[in-house]
């Protein structure tokens, strides 16, 4: 067995992309799990939010697919561009949640849940932004 020398290596704790990868994977995992829950309980949730079961199921399916996409993108070797895109997507989704809370006919619980989703995406956008900032240019 031979060792390959000359490859630049750093200890794991010295990694500059670990915060961004962690934030992206945590976001993807939580989004996917919530999506599964929403899709599975679409009928029960629709009676609480005021949306139809089909709309709730579509939201759940979107969350699952978005989670899978972000989890896949978190494995990219060059994470800077991907991270910037995910931060931008989370900001857009935060704004979309605010608009949806005002535009869609929902119950007070539905509005609260939609705004909570916006807060969630804003928090992860902030964490992921910090991860992008940590990357070496």
pLDDT in tens, the chain (137 residues): 555 555 454 454 555 678 999 999 999 999 999 999 999 999 999 999 999 999 999 999 999 999 999 999 999 888 999 999 999 999 999 999 999 999 999 999 999 999 999 999 999 999 999 999 988 65
Nearest alpha carbon to residue 130 among 28, 31, 18, 25: 18
Beta-carbon contacts of residue 136 (< 8 Å; ≥ 6 apart) = 16
Whole-model pTM: value is 0.83
DSSP 8-state secondary structure symbol assigned to residue 13: G
Give the span between the Cα atoms of 31 and 19, in whole angstroms. 18
> Following CA atoms 6, 20, 73, 100 in sequence, which dihedral angle do they give, to the nearest 10 degrees?
-170
């Amino acid at each position: 067995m031979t060792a390959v020398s000359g490859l630049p290596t750093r200890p794991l704790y010295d990694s500059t992309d670990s915060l961004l990868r962690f934030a992206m994977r945590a976001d993807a995992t939580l989004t996917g799990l919530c999506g599964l829950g929403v899709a599975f309980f679409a009928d029960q949730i629709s009676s609480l939010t005021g949306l139809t079961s089909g709309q709730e199921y579509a939201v759940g399916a979107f969350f699952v697919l978005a989670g899978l996409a972000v989890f896949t993108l978190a494995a990219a070797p060059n994470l800077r561009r991907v991270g910037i895109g995910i931060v931008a997507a989370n900001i857009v989704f935060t704004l979309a949640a605010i608009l949806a809370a005002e535009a869609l006919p929902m119950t007070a619980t539905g509005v609260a849940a939609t705004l909570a989703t916006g807060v969630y995406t804003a928090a992860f956008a902030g964490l992921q932004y910090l991860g992008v900032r940590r990357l070496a240019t």
